[in-house]
Structure 1
C-alpha cells in the first residue's frame, strides 16, 4: 500500500513516435516539499505509456489513502474520468488537485465532486498540510473546498530539489525540466500566470549552473527551461557563458524584443539552444498594447532574425482572435516571417480564453465568446467568427507552405508496443490491452462479412481506454463497402482537449482509422477511401505515389536519404513497416519528436 500517490497525466502528441514531454515535475516538487518518500510520485514510465484501464488498475493495486493530481487543460477530462472511477471503487479516498486549471473562477471544475480539495497557486508552502491524510481531513472538516491563491516571494530553489532528493530521476540521454525563475512582469491579459505570480523571482546564474552540471553529470542531454521569459534576467550573459561547451541541447521561451545583439544570439547558440520560442502574436501594435503585452512587432522580428543568423531556429507563435484584432494582421505576420526566412517553425493558435485570466473576466465587454471547456477556444472575437479565424489559418498555412495542423500520423509498422492483431475469423477474443497510444491491427479476408465483430472490437477498445488515442488499421484481402469506415467514424468519442481540438481543425480525434490496400486495388475505390480514412498501398520498393492523398507503405529496408529526395513533395504520405525506419522518418524527415 502507498498511503499517498501524486500523478500528472500527459498530453497526447499527434504522433505515437513523439515523446509526451510529460515529466512529473510538480508531483516531484510537492512530494519533496512535504517530505514524502520518492515512491509517492507515480512513476513516469507508467503514466506516459499505459492506458486508462491500466492506470485505474495500478492505482487500485497501490491503494492510496490520498491522491494528488496536477491539472492542465490537456489532461483535465482524462484525470476526472480516472478520479470518478477511483471514488466509485473507494469512496473514502481523499483527492487534492492543483495546477494551472485550478483557479477561483473555474466553477465547473470547482464543482467536481470527485475532488475533495483544490489548491490554486504555488503549493509548496501547503504541501505538508494538504498531502498529509490527517491534516487534510482536518482542513476538510472546516468545509473548505479551495485553498489559495497561494502567492510566494521565494525563487524556485527555496524548496527541496526533487532531482537531488530522488523524487525525480534523470534518464541517461534524456530530457529534464528546470525552473531558473518564477513570476512574470508582463501584463498579457490572456495569461493567468501574472495574476498569481506578478513578481519575477530569479535563481542566480551560479546556482542555476550548479544544478545544470549536476543534471548533466547524471546523464541529462536536454534541458527544457520552464521560465515564462528566459531572457528577462540581468545575469543572462553569465548564465549562457557558463552553459557553453556543456554539450547540452536546450530550449526556452524568450521575448524577441529583448534580443538585440548578435553577441547574445551567438551566446545562445554556444550554450546549446538549437530552438527558442518567440511570441510574435500579431503585427497589430495597438492590439499588443491593449492586451498588456506591449513591445513592437518589428523589434520581435528583428530579434528572431538575429537568432536565425546565429543558427538558432526561432519557433514563432501567432494568435488569431485577440480582442480588437483582425486576421489580416496575422496573415501579414506570416508573410513577414517568410520574407525574413524565419518561417520554418510557426505555431498558429486560435485564442484560448483561459481560466484565471484578465481576458476571461472582461470577455463580455470585449465582445469575445469562447467554449466553456478545454481548450476554451474563442468562438467569436468582435465581428470575426471562429469560421473566419479558421479560414485565415488556412491562408496562413498557404503562405508558410505547410499545414498548420497535419492529421495525426498513424502507426502502420508491423510491430509496436501494445499492438493488438485482431483476426475476426479466428473467433477467440482476448481481453484488450490498455496502452496510452493503442494500435488495433485488423487483418481479415473479408472486412464487410466480419463488420460486426470488427465494430465490436473497436468499441471494446474505446471502452477500455476512452481518453487515449487508438489507431485502427484495417487490412482486408477483399474490397469492402466504405460504409464500414463510416460506421467506425460514427462511433462516439469522449469530450476532451484532444477531441475538441480535432473537431476545430478538422482532423481525427482519438479514433484514427487507416486502410492498407494491395497495389492491384481499384484506383477509384482507393480515392474514395482516402477521403474518409488515411489510405496506403503496399510496396516492396520505391515507386511513384499513387496520387491524391493516397500514401505508400514501404516494406523491407530502404535508404532514407534517397527516399527523402524522391518523395520531397509529399513525405507525409510515405510510411514504413519497419519500426526503425518509421521512427527515423518521423524524426529526420518530418520533424516529429
Structure 2
C-alpha cells in the first residue's frame, strides 16, 4: 500500500510538523512518503506531482490557509482516479466533521483531533478488512451514511517517536523553518483560540526533545520555532530549556517561542538578559487587546501592567527581539477602543507589531456564540469577521489601512527615526499617523501596485507635503538619515534632489580632511584618507542638529551636514554630523 501524506504550506520556508509526526508514528509498520507544496503552487502541478508517486492513499493536512486549495486538488484527483483513497486531518476538519463529510464526497475519511495513533490504526484497518468500526477518532461512510467514532484518550507524548530523523529532510534544514513541540495543550480558555478547547498541558520527554534539538543543529537547522501554545507556563521547565539552549546552541541558530508575558517573572528575564547571546531567542507575545471588558468576554486573563514590565525589561536587555500580536474585532472592542489598544502596545516599541483580524474558527466558543455580538463573517476560510455590533465594515476597512502601512513602515524598520519623529512631533498618537497615512495610501491606489524601497520614501514625503506641509522638510531630513544609514554600500542616486553643489561638497570634504575632529572623536580616530572619503561616503544637508540627534536623540533646530561612510569590508554604514555654522566657520 503506497501512502503519501501531503499539505500546502503558506510559504516554501515553512515545514509541516504534523506530517512528520504521522510518518514517524506509522513506522516501521508503514512506509509513508511526504510531499509538501505551497498554496501558491498551481493545483494542476500539485496533482501531477502526486500522481507521479502512484499513491493508493493520499492524506491531506488541512488548515484555514490551505483548505480551499486542498479541496480543489482532491476533487481533481478523484476525477482522475475514483479508486484513490483520500483521508483528511488537521484542525480545519476536526470540527464540524459531519458537515465536511457531507459537503466533500471526495473525502473518504477524516482523522479527528490528535492524529498519530488514529492514523496508524486507520492504515492497519485499511490494509486488512477496511472495517473502521474500532478505529477511534475517525469519520467514514458506511453505505452512504456518515459515521463518526469518538476520539481516543490522549496519547502519552513521552512515548512518541521523533519526527525529525528523516534523511530526506537534512538538505533542507538550513533553508527552512523547523517546527518543534515540547508540549501540547494550553492552560488558558481564550474563546477565539482552538487551543482553549483542549484541557490541560502535556509534555514530551525532555531528554528526547534535547536530543532532537542537538540533532537538528548538527544537521544545519538555523531557525527552530517552538509551537507550544505557552512555552513558559512552567517556570522551571522554561528555565531548564533556556539554559540548555544557551549552553548548547550553535552560531547562527535562532529559537522562537510563544510566551505569555504577564506570567514571566523578572528574575527569568534578568537571567536571559545576563546570559543569552544576542539574537539567539525571539519571543512572540499575544496581547490581542488591552480592553479589560473585552478580555473578560473572551475569558482571557491578562495583567497588562505585568506584560508591559516583561516587554520593557526584555527590550532594555537588548538580547531578544519581540513580536507582539493584536486582534481587531474582539467583542465590544469598537474603533476607539482598538485605537487605544494599538497606542498602548505601540508605546512599548516592539520590534514587530502584528495587526490581525478576528477569525471565527470552527469549534471555538466565540464562533458558537457569534450571535451574542451580531458577528457577520466570511462563510469560507479564513472566516474573518466583516462586522459586529460595535465595529462596522467601514471601521474594519480603516484598520486594514493601518495594517498595510504598519507592515511597510514599522515592522520592516526602514525608517525608524522618521516614524519616531512623526509620532512625537507631528501626530497626536502613533495610531493617528498610521491611520492618516494608510488612508492616503489607499486613496492613491498604491495598495494595488508594487513598491521599490525608494518609492516608500517618496510616497511618505508626498503624503506629508499634502497634509503636514510645515513639517515635511524636517521629516525629509530624518528620511535621508534613515535611507542612507540603512544601505550596505554607497547609493548611486538618492531619491531626493541634492542640496549641495559639487563645489560645496568639495569644500566640505577639504574642511573635514583638514580637521576631522569636526565630526567627533570616533570619526577622527578612523583617520579616513581623501580617497576613502570621496569613494565611500555621501554628504547631504538636513534641517536640524543631526549631531545632537546622533548623540542623544534630541531634535534641535539648526542645519547640519550629514556624512555617511560605507565600509566596503563589513558592508555597514556609519553616520556622522556637524552643524553647518561650525563648518562654515572652519571654511572661513
Deviations 1:512-561 (A, max 9, x none): xxxxxxxxxxxxxxx9997864488999xxx9999969xxxxxxxxx744
Larger RCO of the pair (alpha carbons < 8 Å, separation 6+): 1
Number of the residue aligned with 2:86? 95
* 8 Å CA contact retained: 2:98, 2:146: no
In the alignment, the residues of structure 1 paired with residue 58 and residue 79 of structure 2 have an alpha-carbon distance, to the nearest angstrom, of: 14
* 8 Å CA contact retained: 2:333, 2:390: no
2:137 maps to 1:138: no
Number of the residue aligned with 1:254? 259
User: Aligned to 2:178, what secondary structure does the other structure show?
Assistant: strand
**Structure 1 unpaired stretches of 5+:** 13-19, 407-504, 507-526, 550-558, 570-587
Number of the residue aligned with 1:243? 245
> Which aligned pairs between 1:173-572 and structure 2 lie closer than 5 A?
173-174=174-175, 175-195=177-197, 197-233=198-234, 234-245=236-247, 246-247=249-250, 248-261=253-266, 262-266=269-273, 269-270=276-277, 273-310=280-317, 311-342=319-350, 344-395=351-402, 402=409, 533-534=449-450, 560-563=488-491, 566=494
Number of the residue aligned with 2:54? 63
* 8 Å CA contact retained: 1:180, 1:203: yes
Q: How far apart are residue 184 of structure 1 and its match?
A: 0.9
Q: Sort the Cα spacing of 1:536 and 1:168 in 2 relative to 1 into closer, same or farther, 3 A.
A: closer
How many residues get paired? 431
In the alignment, the residues of structure 1 paired with residue 242 and residue 105 of structure 2 have an alpha-carbon distance, to the nearest angstrom, of: 47
Structure with more helix by fraction: 2
**Structure 2 unpaired stretches of 5+:** 133-139, 414-437, 464-486, 498-571, 574-588
In the alignment, the residues of structure 2 paired with residue 62 and residue 173 of structure 1 have an alpha-carbon distance, to the nearest angstrom, of: 26
Deviations 1:161-193 (A, max 9, x none): 122365754635243211100011110101122
* 8 Å CA contact retained: 1:393, 1:404: no
In the alignment, the residues of structure 2 paired with residue 164 and residue 180 of structure 1 have an alpha-carbon distance, to the nearest angstrom, of: 16
Structure-2-length-normalised TM-score: 0.65
Q: How far apart are residue 141 of structure 1 and its match?
A: 6.1
Find 2:107's aligned residue among 100, 103, 115: 115
* 8 Å CA contact retained: 2:61, 2:88: yes
* 8 Å CA contact retained: 2:311, 2:348: no
Structure-1-length-normalised TM-score: 0.64
Deviations 1:149-169 (A, max 9, x none): 635444544211122365754
Structure 1 or 2, whichever has the larger Rg, is: 2
In the alignment, the residues of structure 1 paired with residue 6 and residue 219 of structure 2 have an alpha-carbon distance, to the nearest angstrom, of: 24
Deviations 1:209-258 (A, max 9, x none): 22211221222222111111111123211111111141321111111112
Number of the residue aligned with 2:95? 104
Q: Sort the Cα spacing of 1:386 and 1:130 in 2 relative to 1 into closer, same or farther, 3 A.
A: farther
2:2 maps to 1:3: yes
* 8 Å CA contact retained: 1:331, 1:392: no
In the alignment, the residues of structure 2 paired with residue 128 and residue 296 of structure 1 have an alpha-carbon distance, to the nearest angstrom, of: 43
* 8 Å CA contact retained: 2:111, 2:119: no
User: Aligned to 1:219, what secondary structure does the other structure show?
Assistant: coil
In the alignment, the residues of structure 1 paired with residue 496 and residue 257 of structure 2 have an alpha-carbon distance, to the nearest angstrom, of: 31
* 8 Å CA contact retained: 2:333, 2:391: no
In the alignment, the residues of structure 2 paired with residue 271 and residue 538 of structure 1 have an alpha-carbon distance, to the nearest angstrom, of: 31
In the alignment, the residues of structure 2 paired with residue 338 and residue 39 of structure 1 have an alpha-carbon distance, to the nearest angstrom, of: 50
Q: How far apart are residue 147 of structure 1 and its match?
A: 4.6
Deviations 1:101-136 (A, max 9, x none): 013326653321111111221011112222343358
In the alignment, the residues of structure 2 paired with residue 239 and residue 529 of structure 1 have an alpha-carbon distance, to the nearest angstrom, of: 48
Cα RMSD (Å): 4.0
* 8 Å CA contact retained: 1:189, 1:291: yes
Q: How far apart are residue 39 of structure 1 and its match?
A: 6.3
Q: Sort the Cα spacing of 1:532 and 1:128 in 2 relative to 1 into closer, same or farther, 3 A.
A: closer
In the alignment, the residues of structure 2 paired with residue 259 and residue 312 of structure 1 have an alpha-carbon distance, to the nearest angstrom, of: 14
User: Aligned to 1:7, what secondary structure does the other structure show?
Assistant: strand
* 8 Å CA contact retained: 1:191, 1:354: yes
2:13 maps to 1:34: no
In the alignment, the residues of structure 2 paired with residue 180 and residue 368 of structure 1 have an alpha-carbon distance, to the nearest angstrom, of: 35
In the alignment, the residues of structure 1 paired with residue 444 and residue 50 of structure 2 have an alpha-carbon distance, to the nearest angstrom, of: 45
User: Aligned to 1:391, what secondary structure does the other structure show?
Assistant: helix
